[in-house]
Amino acid sequence: MTYRFTARVVAAEVDSDNDVMQVGVAEDEDGEGFFLLFMSNIGEPSPQSVSLGLDSHCLVTPDQGTAYGCVREIALSDRPLTVSLYPASLDDLELKDTEIEAELEVPDVDIERMRGVLAQVLAFGRADARPQRVDL
C-alpha cells in the first residue's frame, strides 16, 4: 500500500557551519501533518559515525521516527515525489507503508533546489546504504 500526502512546503539546506544537509517535504509550514526530513552530514562520515552505524542518510518522520540508510528507491517525475523504504525500517520510522508519494504543490524553484540537495544527502556515506535507485 502507498501512503499519499500533499506537500505544500519544501525546504532544502546545506549548512556548512554545522556540517549538515537536509531536505524537508511537509504538508504544512507549521509542522502539523505529515512530513519527511532527509538529512546527512557533509563530506566523509566520522569514525564515530561509522562505528555507530550512522554513516548514511537519515530519514525523520512525525513523532521523531528515525532510520539510517532506509531509502530503497526515490524518484521525482514532474510533481510527485515517490519514496520506497526498506521494510525493516518501518518500526523505527513509525510507519505502516513502505511506499510514500508526496504530491508537490510548491514553486518550481523549490523543487529544483530540493533535487540538488536531496541527491547530495542520499549520496552520503557508505555505498551499501545508498538507495538502489535515485531518479531526481
The whole-number average pLDDT for the span 53-79 is 92
Strands (E), the chain: 2-7, 9-15, 20-26, 35-41, 58-61, 65-68, 71-76, 80-85, 99-104, 133-135
Phi-psi region of 72 (alpha: psi -120 to 50; beta: other; left: phi over 0): alpha
* Residue 112 and residue 97 in contact, taking contact as beta carbons nearer than 8 Å: no
The cell numbers describing 11, all together, are: 525546504
62 located within any domain = yes
Mean pLDDT of all residues in the chain? 93
131 located within any domain = no
Q: Is the pLDDT of residue 34 over 80?
A: yes
132 located within any domain = no
The model's confidence at residue 32, banded by pLDDT at 50, 70 and 90, is confident
State the Cα–Cα distance between residues 27 and 19, nearest whole angstrom.
Answer: 27
Which pLDDT does position 11 carry in this prediction? 96
46 located within any domain = yes
Which pLDDT does position 46 carry in this prediction? 77
* Number of domains the chain is built from: 1
Q: Is the pTM of this model over 0.85?
A: yes
Strand partners, 14: 21
Q: Is the pLDDT of residue 88 over 90?
A: yes
Domain range enclosing 46: 2-126
104 located within any domain = yes
The cell numbers describing 120, all together, are: 547530495
